[in-house]
Structure 1
Amino acid sequence: MSPAQGIRNYMDIWDKRDDMVVHGTDPYNAEPSPCVLADRTLTPLDAFYSRNHGPIPDLDPASWRLTVDGLVGHPLTLSLEDLRSDFSEHALVATLQCAGNRRADLIKVRDIPGEDPWGPGAISTAHWNGVKLADVLARAELCPEAAHIAFAAPDVSDIADPPQPYGGSIPVAKAITGQVLLAWGMNGRPLPRAHGAPVRAIVPGWIGARSVKWLQRVTAQAEPSDNYFQATAYRMLPSEADPARTGPCAGISLGPVTLNTAILRPDDGARLRPGLTQIAGYAYAGENRAVARVDVSLDEGGTWIQADLDEQVSPWAWQHWRTTADLGEGETVITARAWDTAGATQPESARHLWNPKGYANTSWARIHVTCHS
């Protein structure tokens, strides 16, 4: 079987578009082309990015159970039917963004061996249905000394040494806000297997790595999870660090996402006719902030055009933006930057953000286009 046939089979298995940009098939990692995300508040299921660290589990919803234990007064074992019948259903629109979104621009600065070259499509937005984690924790009666809520899943990853199931944690302060969901529905349909069925965590405003899929255990504890993907991976290391030589708890643990934007249309490298051209993209501010403004430049930041910004449909969702610019003959570098409601904006260059794992590229977005009559 050819590589193309192998990728085609994976598109069929996970019900993804034929034009997904596939970074790996085992584990399956893929993102949509930028233009697919343009002008869509909700990302279609067949275009929603997929980030995995091991084989995708196949869990039977009827026999699935969620264990809630640790520093709680009343440990729980809940079936999917228990979650549906014993707790009030809740819904929210939330954007999930991989910590490696836009890593490809960091790789242009300096190579990042062993890491997928994610473009601007490692981000997607869905309408999620489920129950509030806070309601489940209230039923279990958190002990006063509980400071973190750990999530555990069955997907075993060879990235860890030795291999271990995926896991992570969030602070209790985030878990009990009522914002975090134990979700079984996505865009009006049952949660797809590739996205965590039968139940996954949705931690809005935080990196996608904390929205653990195929959730099987929720544990209240005094310290953060010691799982590899919390203690060692998804940490911002200094630029001079060697990831192979750094141990657990090195660097900064990634949690809330930071302000970001990307240009979705036109395509990078596009050949266009001179004249009025629509430029469109997304901006996302993450935890407890909103996007206030998006600026677009045709001269590398010498002058700026203020783009039209869509209303935010949810405190946890991205916003799309667009503007029209008059492009002349020849090559143009189109640049975009966002501002959030705290008055913060993005750093100018990916050079200033390079790190050895390629996380959190929030530099100005840039594409190159060429116009000829």
Structure 2
Amino acid sequence: MGTVHSQHSYHSEWNKQQQHQSRQKHQVLATLAGAGAGVALWLKYNHQADAATQQSSEDEILEKYGAHRNGLPEYTLDDVSKHSKLEDRVWVSYRHGVYDITDFIAKHPGGEKILLGAGGSVEPFWSLYAVHKSPYVLDLFEEYRIGNLAPDDVGESVRNMDDPYSNEPRRHAALKPSSKKPFNAEPPLILLVDSLITPNELFYVRNHLPVPDIDASTYELEVCDEKSEKEKVLMLKDLKKYPKHTITSTIMCAGNRRSEMTKVKGVKGLSWGQAAIGNAKWSGARLCDVLKDMGIEDGKTDALHVQFEGLDTDPANMPYGASIPIEKALDPHGDVILAYEMNGEPIPRDHGYPVRVIVPGVVGARNVKWLGRIIVSKNESDAHWQQNDYKGFAPNVDWDTVDFKKSPAIQELPVISAICEPLEGESVKVKNGKLKVKGYAWSGGGRKIVRVDVSTDGGKNWQEANVLESDEARHPWAWGWTIWTAEVPVLRGESEAQLCVKAVDSQYNTQPENFENIWNLRGVLANAYHRVNVKLRK
């Protein structure tokens, strides 16, 4: 083991090096020690590869990164464990390596999440957030290297740990993953608008952690009121005693269409296309009915928020969490339900079995899956995904200047639309001087889509879509999307066209023209005109 003198000497030199670390290093190292699925950094360098390529990459990682390095002091896991607080400098281990990540933690908004892995191995976290274990991230990680782990301690932190993703549900082959651990995927665009109701098997999947395997017969949901300290435990059979309420509601990830925003300037997050959205019928007990049974009603509580915790947890046993305003939760017309059915069937595991809270008109991140606990509180959820993620910022804000406390958590989403047919770069047939275009449109907050405009010349001229298909719900309870179809004219003799779409909701909100105006470092709220370039053939 290295002496105190060698530690101080090495730290002095190492600290000088840190002053020259680039801004990019601080952004990327948000992944270290499991900075949290909510700040998951899907780097543009991490393109999906086939199985053979992935195995080759994994072999390279094992051979190159975290390997023993000559000339560095040696530390035991006990030494590492003594550095779990900022005042002691934060150390972590990875394979044969020991790393000091103190300077990074002090600057990053996900620092408190990273501290959950402080003083131990990052390997359990990288088993959860495997998407980050890329050569690009690990190259930067190695620059924080301060020593070697004692041979007897190598692998000790994970020796008996099973793969947390070994019991994942089976997924439909049509889903296109943007990450595999945790699993996140969207259906092909050409399938997305074939039906007003999205089939369960083709509904996009957004997981932050491994999917829990829950026995419905022993499932329990805790409900508590912080002020009165009143608590109640409900089993699935208890929820089913309440009047069954069914709504049609669209759920959309805040990062839907992020891949388009990335073309303006790089952002951090999963590289979603246009299909991180789906529309389903959800059935269950109304949240307001459950809370009323506990004496929590409008005018009878001074609580401001309702918090939700899932049964999916990270290595430190911290659950996924989120919250919504109390007004939404208690409003009978807000249609917040504790759903146990999706499209007339028990909710699939990937979508929250056995119970998921459905908060219609609100960003998917608040529709907590595998619901385990409800807390009525004066305070917003303190979960990472509520406080340090799923928030929007001005285009000038970067990772060195961002302050997550200054921005409110995303709740209702803005109006959005996308073209699903034809696809980017497709050769399409022009018939009688027109071509057929089809897609979806949706607006948060229960706002109905009242018009969809389509252009074939990059947005110079527009034509209203011929057909708008939706359910019969009206503003302000129109929770579901609209499938639109348009037959639009193209200029004679043209061989190419840029198709554009913009939607208008029942409050006459419409979409911004470009992504430059709405760019943000997390790539959320990406609702600029959707543009598709196609080739024309007679």
Which of 429, 444, 463 is 1:305 aligned to?
463
Give the corresponding residue for 1:134: 288
Residue identity (%): 34
1:62 aligns with 2:217: yes
1:257 aligns with 2:413: yes
1:336 aligns with 2:493: no
Q: Counterparts of 2:285 and 2:317 in 1: how far apart (Å)?
A: 31
Q: Per residue, is there more strand in 1 or in 2? A: 1
Q: Counterparts of 1:278 and 1:248 in 2: how far apart (Å)?
A: 43
356-365 or 284-293: bigger deviation: 284-293
Q: CA deviation at 1:20?
A: 1.6
What amino acid is aligned across from residue 150 of structure 1 in structure 2? Q
Offset from partner CA, 1:60-112 (integer Å, 9 cap, x none): 11111000013365421000011112x11111110001100111110011111
Which of 315, 318, 321 is 2:484 aligned to?
321
Q: Tell me the secondary structure at the aligned position of residue 262 of structure 2.
A: helix
Give the corresponding residue for 2:439: 281
Give the corresponding residue for 1:360: 525
Q: Counterparts of 1:337 and 1:120 in 2: how far apart (Å)?
A: 14
What amino acid is aligned across from residue 249 of structure 2 in structure 1? A
Q: CA deviation at 1:267?
A: 1.1
Give the corresponding residue for 1:233: 389
TM-score, normalised relative to structure 1: 0.92
What amino acid is aligned across from residue 354 of structure 1 in structure 2? W
Offset from partner CA, 1:233-280 (integer Å, 9 cap, x none): 111123233347645523231000110101111111111233342101
1:209 aligns with 2:371: no
Offset from partner CA, 1:6-43 (integer Å, 9 cap, x none): 9xxx9x96443322221011100000111111141110
What amino acid is aligned across from residue 454 of structure 2 in structure 1? V
Q: Tell me the secondary structure at the aligned position of residue 351 of structure 1.
A: coil
Give the corresponding residue for 1:242: 398
Q: CA deviation at 1:156?
A: 2.3
Q: Counterparts of 1:214 and 1:187 in 2: how far apart (Å)?
A: 17
Long gaps (5+) in structure 2: 1-48, 55-164
Give the corresponding residue for 1:198: 354
Q: Aligned runs of 1:1-373 on 2, under 5 Å?
A: 3=51, 14-71=169-226, 73=228, 74-85=230-241, 87-113=242-268, 115-142=269-296, 144-157=301-314, 164-178=318-332, 179-243=335-399, 246=402, 248-275=404-431, 276-307=434-465, 308-314=467-473, 315-327=478-490, 329-373=494-538
Q: Counterparts of 1:257 and 1:24 in 2: how far apart (Å)?
A: 24
362-371 or 66-75: bigger deviation: 66-75
Q: CA deviation at 1:289?
A: 1.5
What amino acid is aligned across from residue 447 of structure 2 in structure 1? R
Q: Counterparts of 1:209 and 1:17 in 2: how far apart (Å)?
A: 23
Q: Tell me the secondary structure at the aligned position of residue 251 of structure 2.
A: strand
Q: Counterparts of 2:485 and 2:436 in 1: how far apart (Å)?
A: 7
Q: Counterparts of 1:199 and 1:311 in 2: how far apart (Å)?
A: 26
User: Is contact 1:238-1:251 (8 Å) kept?
Assistant: no
139-148 or 59-68: bigger deviation: 139-148
Distance 1:106-1:284 versus aligned 2 partners, 3 A rule: same
User: Is contact 2:458-2:497 (8 Å) kept?
Assistant: no
Q: Counterparts of 2:384 and 2:514 in 1: how far apart (Å)?
A: 30
What amino acid is aligned across from residue 342 of structure 1 in structure 2? Q
Q: Counterparts of 2:52 and 2:348 in 1: how far apart (Å)?
A: 24
Q: CA deviation at 1:221?
A: 0.3
Q: CA deviation at 1:5?
A: 11
Q: Tell me the secondary structure at the aligned position of residue 201 of structure 2.
A: coil
Offset from partner CA, 1:204-255 (integer Å, 9 cap, x none): 0000000000000000000111111101111112323334764552323100
Q: Counterparts of 2:179 and 2:218 in 1: how far apart (Å)?
A: 30
Offset from partner CA, 1:160-214 (integer Å, 9 cap, x none): xx88321010011000113101000001110111100110100000000000000
Q: Per residue, is there more helix in 1 or in 2? A: 2
Distance 1:247-1:65 versus aligned 2 partners, 3 A rule: farther
Distance 1:105-1:363 versus aligned 2 partners, 3 A rule: same
User: Is contact 1:237-1:250 (8 Å) kept?
Assistant: no
Q: Counterparts of 2:399 and 2:283 in 1: how far apart (Å)?
A: 37
Q: Counterparts of 1:245 and 1:217 in 2: how far apart (Å)?
A: 34
What count of residue pairs does the alignment treat as equivalent?
Answer: 365
Distance 1:280-1:133 versus aligned 2 partners, 3 A rule: same
Q: Tell me the secondary structure at the aligned position of residue 281 of structure 1.
A: strand
Q: CA deviation at 1:355?
A: 0.2
Q: Counterparts of 2:234 and 2:446 in 1: how far apart (Å)?
A: 31
User: Is contact 1:53-1:157 (8 Å) kept?
Assistant: no
Q: Counterparts of 1:286 and 1:50 in 2: how far apart (Å)?
A: 19
Q: Counterparts of 1:346 and 1:246 in 2: how far apart (Å)?
A: 25
What amino acid is aligned across from residue 138 of structure 1 in structure 2? K
Distance 1:193-1:244 versus aligned 2 partners, 3 A rule: farther
Q: Tell me the secondary structure at the aligned position of residue 109 of structure 1.
A: coil
TM-score, normalised relative to structure 2: 0.65
Distance 1:2-1:305 versus aligned 2 partners, 3 A rule: closer
Q: Tell me the secondary structure at the aligned position of residue 236 of structure 1.
A: coil
Long gaps (5+) in structure 1: none
What amino acid is aligned across from residue 182 of structure 1 in structure 2? L
Distance 1:69-1:117 versus aligned 2 partners, 3 A rule: same
Q: Counterparts of 2:168 and 2:374 in 1: how far apart (Å)?
A: 29
